[in-house]
Structure 1
Amino acid sequence: MVSRVVLGAWLLLVAIVARAELVVEVTQGVTEPTPVAVVPFEWNGGSEIEDVAQIISNDLGRSGFFKTMPRANMLSNPYRQDQVFYRDWRISGNDYLVIGRLEPQPDGQVRVTAELFDVLQERRVWGQVVNGTPANMRDVAHYLADQIFEELTGIKGAFSTRIVYVTADSLGAGSFRYRLQMADSDGARPRTILESKEPILSPSWSRDASKLAYVSFESGRPSIYIQHLATGQRQRIQSFKGLNGAPAWSPSGDKLAVVLSKDGNPEIYVLTLATGQLDRVTRHYGIDTEPTWSPDGQSLVFTSDRGGRPQIYSLNLQSRDLKRLTFEGVSNSRGRMTQDGRFLTMVHQDSEGFHIAVQDLKDGRLDILTNSRLDESPTIAPNGSIILYATKKGGRGVLAGVSLDGNVRFTMPSSSGDVREPAWSPYLQ
């Protein structure tokens, strides 16, 4: 258990420059969010340490599923079960209560105890003890928030995951500084993975979350790179004339789907990383692009204008059977599947602009989730609950999120430059 939490610390090794944080601003939650109070945890270690309880409270509040109680309104600060007076918390309108304590250990670690109580039924429903270091208390907090979220909703939490995105800061005279950034799922602890005066595009996570593939123009032409996050080591994979773009990791982690125009037209290829073998999987005079893998690795979903306008297709890699998945609207592009293979998110164009939409692949129903007009680059949380995407707000590029049912919405503005090209990590191994 401890290793799952401490593992998050290795991500600190990739830091080059800390940049301005993204700040999550919830704009809409579920109709009746569950009220929960997260009491400040006891800490007698002397030195300052991360406020674990506040991070848990923030995580739960940002999910849109919970209404968290302000500390100023709390009638007491219990740290142990025998200090909990259910009547106080029931009167203040809470359904659940989280308490805890942090205890310094002789070896320098910190033992964190967290407990969850059902206020209405007056009983303890969950508890856990986690060891960590003072430096990784934020990882501990996200981990505990994941456990509490799952206990209360039945949905696996994703607060301990990471996001990557690209920022673009104007240098004047039409030039920009681009940064590939990685941050916690809440936008905290941003760190720069790559900085360049040339564009950076299409970051893609490996299934074990240890590597990124992306497109960089640093050599003056588009090339695909793989970067190992723990060491910072990066390598350029085979680079061909023309377009080299849109890398997508296979679920097995040993292949990349890429878009190449080396034969004159943008087509989709599968690259076996160990051998360098290329397998061309599409052959059409239209433009085939934006590949992504089905969760079982048996098919590729991609965008093609072979029917006249961009639509999303599925290609079985064994039989090479092709199936068109989208039909509604002016166009549909940038398809991404949930891990259970049930839903397909996309950029849907209608007469009003470009929106984020989701299609149920079982019954074909399409739901448009956003009403802004310049939405792009959807990416899905590994628990399938939230779609993160890029959009425009006040003339600047920002990240925003919406739940698959459209009930929860938030924005993640940055204090520095435009933000674009988000990619949500898998669960950390």
Structure 2
Amino acid sequence: MDRAASRWVLVMVPKFDVAIVGAGVAGCLMAAGLAKKGLSVCLIERKPISKIGVKVCGDALIADSKLKEIGFQPPKGYVERELYGFKVYVPGLDVITLKAKVLLLDREGFGRWLFERALDQGVTPFESTIAINPIISDGWVKGVKVKRLNEPPLTINSGLTVDASGVASFLRRKLPREWWVSEEVTRYDLALCYREIRLAEGFDDDYCSIYYDQAISPMGYLWIFPKSKGKVNVGVGLRMNVKAPLREVLHHHLACDPRFNSSRILHAGWGVVPARHPLKCFTSNGFMVIGDAAYQATCGLGEGLRPSIVSAYLAAQEAAEAAYYGLEDLWGYNVKYLKTLGLAQVQSAAFTYYFERLSDERRNKLLSNFAEGSFNLEAFLNFKIDAKILAHSAKLGLQQFKELIGEWRLVREVKSIYTAYPEASKNYPEWSLRADNFWSKIKASTY
């Protein structure tokens, strides 16, 4: 990283077209995209250079049609293994197979490559720099105040300020509460994760494994993702309002799997991930929020890499084409995200809220409609229930069919709400009330 270090300098007059806080996947991609189009961009990162790319993560990137559409593919040198999808395990049921191209990444190397890519486009980096506050004037965000250790605070002026700071969402949380982008997030909306990278021999699985078991991980899940050269990414995630000894939960599960009998831990760490639907609005005057900072992760899978890549691309596209950086100029980013990948995510979130509150008996009745089946992941996340599933459900019995129809009605309602996402900001307040009413009902378990 010597070349990067030599370019990591503070400028005397910090004025940029775009200031981005967070040099993670979303931040680096958006910075590179905008700089490539000729905009002056700075990238503000609290970590030192040596830690760029280091993150507790499942390391799995779903390489679906959306990534193909935007033309993104990680370099082969950072892909440790390619798998065929996910196998979902629930006690008392046959395995559910979700087919997809899944790339297990060298997460640290991938993150550093993205950062280097941004530098190659001329992005100005601010390393070991903490974002303190957004600069707000006349209802606009006009930059960000930052600070380095042992140095006085510095004001960075920018036409557009972007929060890509991850789930902490440092800037967004300090905006005026009445702004639409300042949606409140609770502990229930977040999941605490404990993850290990283990060396275990004999792992020849071609699928990622996800386990849902109320007895082991209430309101959460465990995962086992095989990588290359005997490495395995294993972990557990639970909503933060649920108290449980995560490390012990994971170790108890692994102790029941003979493949881990002689395994050893190479790395262990903790992280927090979004466990809710995306924010309803990602923009304001002079401001955008992307990636985990916008809670753009897929509930049930804990998937954040693909959403971060897609949101960075869409946000950069909208910002580059905007005549100004006002709310209306940037509004298309909201529409494009929430009517594409976001549409699948709100359906997944609705189902997850519903699923978590079911008893084990009702869970099994619902999932038995899909047990021993193989499905395309994209279709499954969009809850496309075809004639084959309906026929199978009818054969299982009335209770199973009722659970399936109950799920379908729930998903159909949230899909209809977000399909009607307003094309213009003037219609947002009325739409937002409708969406809020839906999420309030489902979180209160009125379904």
TM-score band w.r.t. shorter chain = under 0.3
TM-score (norm 1): 0.24
TM-score (ref. length: structure 2): 0.24
Larger relative contact order (Cα-Cα within 8 Å, sequence gap ≥ 6):
2
